Amino acid sequence: MPICDFKMNVCPIDYRYGRAEMLSLFEEGARLGAMLKVEAALAQSQSKYGIIPKEAAKDIEKAVTGGKVKAETVREIEKDIGHDVMAVVKALSDVAGRGAPYVHFGATSNDIIDTSTALQLRDALRIIKSDIVDLETVIADRALAEKDTIMLGRTHGQAALPITFGFKLSVYLLELDRQLERIDECEKRVVVGKMSGAVGTGASFGKSFFSIQEDIMERLGISLEQASGQIVGRDRYAEMVSVLSNAVTTCERMATEVRNLQRTEIDEVEEYFDSSKQVGSSTMAQKRNPVKAENVCGLARIVRAFVTPSFENMILWHERDLTNSSAERIIIPHVLVLTDDILTKTRDIFANLQLKRENMARNLERAKGLIMAERVMLHLAEKMGRQEAHEAVRNAAMKSVEGSISFREVLLSAENIASAISPEELDKLLDATTYTGHAAEITERAVKQIKNMRALHTAPI
């Protein structure tokens, strides 16, 4: 006997990951609807050019728009005949009245599959682009708000120089916008259909082939593959998966920084935690884990894992074989659903991120002035030359670290340094709050650049 009565789901995107808006594009009914829309456009175009009777096209369109073809009917037919597209064709023919003899006339399966996939990709990429714009808005607002919030900058995991939290976010902001630009650029190559028959020559559509194919794609609002075998070139899908993998990797980079800064020994930020009810651990009751950031990192790795099979799907025998089909049924919906999920979770993380400014100040203090070595060295360089100044400050820094002595004390005890800098000058040089360079201005410029680009964006997101 089963130990629970849950409906059997195997894939976590059926019950754990993904948002309804994106999931709905790839549900069985939506997929069928897209295929039927393509079949209707084919019939309308063929009637326009005198290939099939006008009344046949009208009846096919009525059957499609009237919802006469049911998913359960298609499913039952496919079980019987073992072919997904022919199951759709048969189900549509059975309810198409005078159009029955002309359903799918001259077309091959992938004329329908690839063109309906283009419709899904168009709608999915619009959601993805909107997600990035929403995330950019959150990051831009927080960057401006924290442009002067001083914190420790780190390289190699070690204390480096002071920066501001807003400056850190401005770096992410411009990276996100490059990702949006990449998606915008690849969209025109990805949202592409075909209606050119079994090997792509258009022979089955007669002398009106070019006109019919162009007319169909115009009706559907997508571009067309000018020359194909049986299928649209899979370099297009490989590019999309690569570009989206790049985008989610930016999210993983941002989420990884949250995870690092939330470490107990750093403790400068914290992912929002609802202490009134949220549970961090089944045994360690004190835990407040960055679970959403960790989730983003894990899911981004899954998206990137689809890059390799996407490229392998380009390598098909002659005009086409079927090795790409099964892989794409998994790759395409998973990549788009998870990318949307990752982007929206990243937005939520940063919209609700808790900053611990007192700990940022504490960690600056714990550096014991050592992070100001560059500033001291540059000041000394004006008096003794850059290389000599660097060696003098380096020696002082090593003594400070190895002897657990304050950097200030070591500097003042070095005769060549003390003779060049007064204690009052040194105190000013060691003030981390006055050495964030142009961090605030860089942040302002980054945000302004993004806002200007949004204002100039004429195409709908």
DSSP secondary structure letters along 241-298: HHHHHHHHHHHHHHHHHHHHHTSTTT--EE----TTT--S-SS-TT----HHHHHHHH
207: β partners: none
Q: Is residue 69 part of a domain?
A: yes
**Do 196 and 285 reside in the same domain of the chain?**
yes
In the chain, the number of structural domains is: 3
**Do 279 and 394 reside in the same domain of the chain?**
no
**Do 316 and 392 reside in the same domain of the chain?**
no
What pLDDT is recorded for position 458?
46
Q: Give the angle subtended at the CA of 295 by the CAs of 292 and 301, to the nearest 5°.
A: 150
If phi over 0 gives left and psi between -120 and 50 gives alpha, with beta otherwise, what is residue 153?
Answer: beta
For residue 324, give the nearest of 245, 249, 229, 246 by alpha carbon: 229
Q: Is residue 267 part of a domain?
A: yes
- Residue 404, pLDDT > 50, answer yes
- Measured in degrees and rounded to the nearest 5, phi and psi for residue 224 equal -120, 155
**Do 243 and 374 reside in the same domain of the chain?**
no
- Alpha carbon distance 137, 450 (integer Å): 9
Model pLDDT for residues 163-187, shown as the tens digit of each residue:
999 999 999 999 999 999 999 999 9
Q: Which whole number is the average pLDDT over 192-204?
A: 96
**Do 201 and 312 reside in the same domain of the chain?**
yes
**Three-state SS at 96:** coil
**Do 283 and 330 reside in the same domain of the chain?**
yes
Q: Which residues are catalytic?
A: 156, 281
- Alpha carbon distance 243, 249 (integer Å): 10
Q: Which of 343, 363, 383 is the last residue of a domain?
A: 363
Answer yes or no: are the C-beta atoms of 250 and 139 closer than 8 Å.
no
What pLDDT is recorded for position 460?
43
Q: Is residue 437 part of a domain?
A: no
Q: Is residue 451 part of a domain?
A: no
Q: Give the angle subtended at the CA of 192 by the CAs of 182 and 245, to the nearest 5°.
A: 35
**Do 157 and 237 reside in the same domain of the chain?**
yes
Distances (CA, A) of 47 to 10, 72, 85, 265, 290: 44, 29, 22, 72, 59
16: how many CB neighbours lie within 10 A of its CB? 10
Q: Which of 348, 363, 378 is the last residue of a domain?
A: 363
Mean pLDDT, rounded, of the chain = 94
What pLDDT is recorded for position 210?
97
**Do 208 and 276 reside in the same domain of the chain?**
yes
**Three-state SS at 141:** helix
| pLDDT range class, residue 262, cuts 50, 70, 90 | very high
What pLDDT is recorded for position 113?
97
Residues 6+ apart with CB under 8 A from 217: 115, 193, 195, 223, 224
**Do 72 and 117 reside in the same domain of the chain?**
no
The predicted model scores a pTM of 0.94
- Alpha carbon distance 2, 104 (integer Å): 45
203: how many CB neighbours lie within 10 A of its CB? 12
Model pLDDT for residues 245-261, shown as the tens digit of each residue:
999 999 999 999 999 99
Q: Is residue 165 part of a domain?
A: yes
Q: Is residue 421 part of a domain?
A: yes
What pLDDT is recorded for position 405?
87
Question: What helix, strand, coil percent values describe the chain, rounded to 5?
Answer: 65, 5, 30
- Alpha carbon distance 460, 53 (integer Å): 37
**Do 349 and 396 reside in the same domain of the chain?**
no
Among 91-100, 195-204, 257-266, 408-417, the least confident range = 408-417
**Do 44 and 135 reside in the same domain of the chain?**
no
CATH code of 334's domain: 1.20.200.10
**Do 125 and 224 reside in the same domain of the chain?**
yes
Which residue range is the domain that position 176 belongs to? 109-363
